Chain A
């Protein structure tokens, strides 16, 4: 099973094992990971599932769509090259493990 590691601003980690096809947002919301809200239900509408993906996983990520790109310009915490919306990144055969940092603020 793929694993997702969420790192909080205080350095604490939560490692989740999830089924193929699970998005970072769904995994976080279902498992009570602090700081991931997912207010719009994964429609790339609210930018409350913003995460910073560690650079070593960047190559395995899906491309950023226009919707996500525009939404990332509206995040509460500053956008960086590592910014993604958790609802647009799913783990699976091409992304068996990922480590992301949760920003301090989403709303």
Chain B
């Protein structure tokens, strides 16, 4: 008798793994070990709708309570996995119990990188990842006047736009020369730098944080940057990226390195153990490189794939189709809805379609002469067409895309139906 599937992680990847296994007819025991005490919830709205003025701070559950009973999935809340015993195939939990597994799915996600500069522990300095973090910010924002955000990544800029919309003086410090530089083309990064300036956000590029100083009440009062500039701050949000939670895997002797290393079937170096979502370092067939992605799409699509691997008993079938879904992402920053299809590379040749001045345009990225990624602002039609084109076998050249009258939507419509 199969000992069942244990899933470590109660986020999007963990719950989708459980859901997909049941939907595929898996009849064994399924246990989800969720580290946080709440009913598992959606993280993306925490830095968007959740912070808007006037909204009631109520989280959106990933699945309702009834889901777990209806699907016979045991959800352990507020409990962490502490060790994996691979020879015995069990997981130790911090409540002193152990769980046997036939397959183990690691959906451990990521944690925030933290600052360690002087003053980094002062009251008034926040991070934004969990529901508890978001509630603390929601409570602090109404009284905030001078907000400083450390890091111009997606989370930092989403928060900055929300703080600005509430009328706060908002400054963003970014040590790199462009916002969202790891994820976006330079042309899109530069456009967003201008767009945030127009919203009235003080985006300081090539300027990192040096230290924080406290006021008479002991709370943060000033952020001193690497240029020596002093920025008034009664509320600080730090958004400087995340680290994969791969220690549980590493201690168990699984291969790690910027995440838990998996093969195309999402199996770790132990075929009874899979890893999915933000924590998984996987070979991406489109680029041939190992990558790790932090997104809802990657979490849910990998979870579905892992469920197929388990159902197929793919441990004996390494030739099973590798995970190859097209990555896509979104970020909502004030009035700007940024949508990305495919992964842009710094060296990509770019072509702008649409009207940047009207905040409705797309940046097409070409690699080896062919369309490889598309970034869109307030143009959902372009984004969805790009997803269809890039996921399919369409080959769009720069020459073709530069022709008078070319649109992504028309090109997608012209594709042969899959």
Q: State the A residues within 8 Å of B (CB).
A: 26, 29-32, 38-46, 66-67, 70-71, 73-74, 107
Contacts of A40 in B (CB 8 A): 44, 296, 330
B24 within 8 A of A: no
Binding site for A on B (CB under 8 A): 12, 42-45, 48-49, 60-67, 70, 296, 300, 304, 330, 332, 337, 339, 380-381, 383-384, 388
Q: How distant is the Cα of A7 from the Cα of B70 in the complex, in angstroms?
A: 18
- A73–B60 Cα gap in the complex (Å)? 25
- Describe B's contact surface by its main secondary structure: helix
25 examples of A-B residue contacts, CB within 8 angstroms: A29-B61, A29-B62, A29-B63, A29-B64, A30-B64, A31-B64, A32-B64, A32-B67, A32-B70, A38-B42, A39-B12, A39-B296, A40-B330, A41-B42, A41-B44, A41-B45, A41-B60, A42-B49, A43-B44, A43-B48, A44-B380, A45-B339, A66-B381, A70-B383, A74-B384
Please, which residues of chain A bring their CB within 8 A of the CB of B381? 66, 70
B56 CB, min distance to chain A CBs, angstroms: 9
* Nearest B residue (CB) for A67: B380
Report the bound CA distance from A67 to B65 in whole Å.
Answer: 30
Contacts of B49 in A (CB 8 A): 42
Cβ of A87 to closest chain B Cβ, rounded Å:
10
Q: Kindly list chain A residues whose C-beta atoms are within 8 Å of the C-beta of B45.
A: 41-43
Name the CB-closest residue of B to A87: B60
Which residues of B have CB within 8 Å of A70?
380-381, 383-384
Centre residue among A44, A70, A74 by max chain B CB count within 10 A: A70
From A32, A41, A46, A74, contact of B65 by CB (8 A): A32
Residues of A contacting B388 in the complex (Cβ-Cβ under 8 angstroms): 74
Residues of B within 8 A of A31 (CB): 64, 66
Main secondary structure of the interface of A (DSSP, over half): loop
Evaluate contact between B332 and A43: CB separation under 8 angstroms. yes
- Least Cβ distance of A66 to chain B in Å? 6
Known pairs A29-B61, A66-B380, A71-B384; A39 contacts B300 (CB<8 A)? yes
Shortest 6 CB-CB contacts between residues of A and residues of B: A32-B66, A32-B64, A41-B42, A70-B380, A32-B67, A41-B45
Q: Which residue of chain B has the shortest Cβ distance to A34 in the bound complex?
A: B70
A43: which B residues are within 8 A, CB to CB?
44-45, 48, 330, 332
- Complex CA–CA separation, A33 to B123 (angstroms): 42
Most B CB atoms within 10 A — which of A32, A40, A41, A70?
A: A41
Query: How many Å from the CB of A105 to the closest CB on chain B?
Result: 11
State A66–B61 Cα separation when bound (angstroms).
Answer: 26
Taking a contact as CB atoms under 8 Å apart, the answer to whether A26 and B60 are in contact is yes
Q: What is the CB-to-nearest-CB distance from B367 to chain A, in angstroms, rounded to a whole number?
A: 25
Residues of B within 8 A of A66 (CB): 380-381
- CB atoms of B67 and A71 under 8 A apart: no
CA distance in complex: A38, B300 (Å): 12
Residues of chain B contacted by A42 (CB below 8 angstroms): 45, 49, 60
Q: Shortest Cβ distance from B13 into chain A, in angstroms? A: 12
| Assembly CA distance A25 to B332 (angstroms) | 19
Question: A67-B380, A70-B380, A73-B384 are contacts. A30–B296 as well, Cβ < 8 Å?
Answer: no
* Residues on B with beta carbons closer than 8 Å to the beta carbon of A26: 60
B262 CB to nearest chain A CB (Å): 22
- Return chain B residues, CB-CB under 8 Å to A39: 12, 296, 300
Knowing A43-B44, A66-B381, A67-B380, the reply to whether A29 touches B330 (Cβ < 8 A) is: no
Cα-based distance from A41 to B330 in the complex (angstroms): 12
For the complex, what is the distance from the CA of A67 to the CA of B381, rounded to whole Å?
Answer: 8
In the bound complex, do residue A29 and residue B60 qualify as a contact, i.e. CB atoms below 8 Å apart? yes
Q: In the complex, which of the residues B12, B63, B300 contacts A32, with contact meaning CB atoms closer than 8 Å? A: B63
- Say yes or no: B61 contacts A30, CB within 8 Å: yes
- Contacts A32-B67, A41-B43 known; 11 new A-B pairs at CB < 8 A: A26-B60, A29-B60, A30-B60, A32-B65, A39-B12, A41-B42, A41-B45, A43-B45, A66-B380, A70-B380, A74-B388
Chain B residue numbers with a CB within 8 Å of A38 are 42, 60
Question: A106 CB to closest chain B CB, in angstroms?
Answer: 11
Tell me, in angstroms, the Cα distance from A41 to B300 when the chains sit together: 13
Closest to B56 in A: A21
Task: Name A47's closest neighbour in chain B (CB-CB).
Answer: B384
Q: How far is the CA of A45 from the CA of B43 in the complex (A)?
A: 15
B310 to chain A, nearest CB (A): 18
